[in-house]
Structure formats: C-alpha cells, structure tokens
A and B are shown apart, each in its own frame.
Chain A
Amino acid sequence: MRLGRTDKSVGDLQILPDEDVLRCCASGDQQALRELTRRYQAPIFRFLYRMSGSREDAEEAAMDVFTKAWQHAGRFQYRAKVSTWLYRIAANLARDAHSRKMARPQEAWPDERQLERGSLGSAETDALNTLEREDQARQIREAIDQLNESDRMLIVLYYLEERDYEEMQAITGVSYTVLKTRLARARQRLKAKLEDGYKRTVP
C-alpha cells in the first residue's frame, strides 16, 4: 500500500500511545487507523457482540465504530481516554441498533455452538464439559437478553468488559451516583432473571 508522506511506519505506530495514534489518524494516516483497529477491534467487537448477540451485526457495527473514529479523529478533545471514546461510539451504535431491533420481530440469542470452533478461552471454562458450558452460557445470555437495553449495557461494560467507574461515566454520560444506583438495579434484575432461568431448568 502506498503511504502518504506523513504516514508513519507500522513499527513507529506500534510504540505510540493511543492518543498519538489518533493524532496521526486525524492527519489522514491510514496506517494509524490500521494500528488503532488492531488495538481495539477485539474488545469493541466483543462488546457489540454481547449487546446484539449477532456476529454479523457486531462486525458491521464495529466497522462503523472505526469508520466514525476515522471521520471524527480531528475533533477529539483528548479529555477522555481513546478507548473510552471508542466504547462511547460503540455504545451509541448499540443503542441505535437496539431501537431498530425493537421495531422488528424478536430474534433469539444464537446458540453458542454457532460460534467459531476454537474460540473458547480460559482454563476454568475449558475444564467444564462442553455441552454443560454451552447450556450455561445460553442461559446467561438469555437472562442478559431479557434485561432492558440500559441494564444490559451496564452489565456488559462493567462486569464483562471490565471498564472502571470513570470510564463507565464517560461512556454512558451519567454521574457517579446515578451510575451506582443503575448498576445496583441492573445487578438485582440480572440476578432475578438468572434465578428464574435456573428454576425453569431445575424443576
């Protein structure tokens, strides 16, 4: 690929902090966008997948996140972390997608078996029987899917994506007190949904 005069080499970019990579994006450096995508495509895709339950939708939305980042890089104020900004864009897209989905007939969460082989991670989960694990994961997915969109976003960001309070506040745009209250409520609702699910499977 032919690089512009201002484009940095891939090696240069890899050692730069996120902020400088974004500054290069703002100047039109496509290799910088490639580097930003390399750093954040996995967490952003995962977040969007957890919000939508659809690999295809998550992939499309993740593309939109990085397209928006490319378009708006020059307007970033460097007050928030770059990762927070990307999550914020993703959260807005997830909300929009959710509103559109609500207008369509409900789709069930995909069966975990539809996920790619070899995608399973930690030692803990590997130790479990595959079927049992898929069953458990499906139950939890169903419970999360039954939450309202706002509760689901908080649970996914905080407990699965491991964003801290400050980032959560920047991504969702609410104060500490409001966030604390909503998170507690989301936790209680998820707990109730999970208990319902277990009651149904263990009569």
Chain B
Amino acid sequence: MNCRDLEKNSAAWLQGRRPELAESIAEHTGKCSRCALLLREEKALLESLAPLRAEPTAPDLWPDLYERIRTTTPHRAATRPWYAFALTGAVAAALAFVSLRPQEPVRELTLAPEDEVRIVRMAADVLPAPDPADDAGYEGMRATRSARQAILIGYAGDGE
C-alpha cells in the first residue's frame, strides 16, 4: 500500500467496508507518519459524526412520483429537443435535394478541414450546453458529434 491507496481507502476501512485492508494499513502507517496522522484525524472525525448516522427515515416517494410522471412529466422518448427536429429537418431537406437530381452521378464529397471546422462550429452554436443531469457531462460532446455527422450527411448527401 502506498500513500495514495491509503488516502483513498482509510475512511472505507474505518467505516468497516474494507476489513481486508487492516494489515496493509497498519504496515503503511507504521512507516509513514503523514498517513498515520490522516488516519487518526479521519477516525476522530468519523467518531464525531457518529450521532448524525441516526438517520431520518426516508419517505416512500413512489405514490407522488407516479402521479407526477403520469400526469405532468413527458418521457424523454416523447420529447425531443427542438434542435433535434431542426437537424432532422435540415438533413431531410438536404437528402431530398440530392435525390431530386437523379441524373447526376453520386459523388463523394470531401470537405476542406476549414469547412469541417466551420460546420462543427455551426452545429455547436445550435446545441445547448451539456445538461448537468447527464453522466459525467459526456452528452454534450456526443450531441455535438452527432450533429456534426448529421450536418455532414446533409451537406454531402448519403453518398451511396
């Protein structure tokens, strides 16, 4: 065990969640005074906090929650953000435009890097900031990527 392992696991061990670490924690704190101090501080703090562990009972949220989602909260599947419709519309319009020119041979459209950057910026402009409810904030990045793909398809036709 090193200092970082101890920092990450000392509270869990003191709370009885990692009993298997007893030996390695004793060994490390025996030779590392900084971690020994951390362990003492955390132990004292957890003892201070013990009275708060007398927890309030949680209410059963389901009856009210069910009423709420049934009556007022549309499910995500039924509520797409406005920009999704706008992008879908743009892609559909672009595809319709491409398909209305049947004589023209299908061509692969390659974009200059600066065009691609410009299109991605355009897409980023119409997209909202990442939603804080999304896990680890990845959704915004993913949405930007999808929009970019949608716009590139719209721009270039489906190419097939």
The residues of A with any CB-CB pair to B shorter than 8 Å are 1, 26-28, 30, 33-34, 37-38, 41-42, 45-46, 49-50, 55, 59, 62-63, 66-80, 84-85, 88-89, 92, 112, 115-116, 118-122, 124-125, 128, 133, 136-137, 140-141, 144, 158-160, 162, 164-165, 170, 173, 180, 187, 190-191, 194
Looking at the complex, which one of A38, A80, A141, A160 makes contact with B62 (CB distance below 8 Å)?
A38
Q: Are B41 and A26 in contact (CB under 8 A)?
A: no
Does B15 have its Cβ within 8 Å of any Cβ on chain A? yes
Q: Are A67 and B68 in contact (CB under 8 A)?
A: yes
| CB neighbours of B51 from chain A (8 A) | 125, 128, 133, 136-137, 140
Does B17 have its Cβ within 8 Å of any Cβ on chain A? yes
Q: How many A-B residue pairs have CB under 8 A?
A: 157
Determine chain A's interface SS by DSSP, over half rule: helix
The residues of B with any CB-CB pair to A shorter than 8 Å are 7-8, 11-12, 15, 17, 41-42, 44-46, 48-62, 64-66, 68-70, 73-77, 79, 131-139, 142
Residue of B nearest to A92 (CB): B132
* With A71-B74, A119-B57 already in contact, 8 other A-B pairs whose C-beta atoms are closer than 8 Å: A41-B61, A72-B131, A75-B76, A119-B56, A125-B50, A140-B52, A160-B49, A191-B41
Complex A-B, nearest 10 residue pairs according to Cβ-Cβ distance, in ascending order: A42-B58, A45-B58, A137-B51, A120-B54, A80-B135, A136-B51, A92-B132, A165-B8, A119-B57, A74-B76
Q: Are B69 and A30 in contact (CB under 8 A)?
A: yes
Q: Are A70 and B69 in contact (CB under 8 A)?
A: yes
Q: Are A159 and B17 in contact (CB under 8 A)?
A: no
Q: Are B61 and A59 in contact (CB under 8 A)?
A: yes
Given contacts A62-B61, A162-B17, contact A67 B73 (CB under 8 A): yes
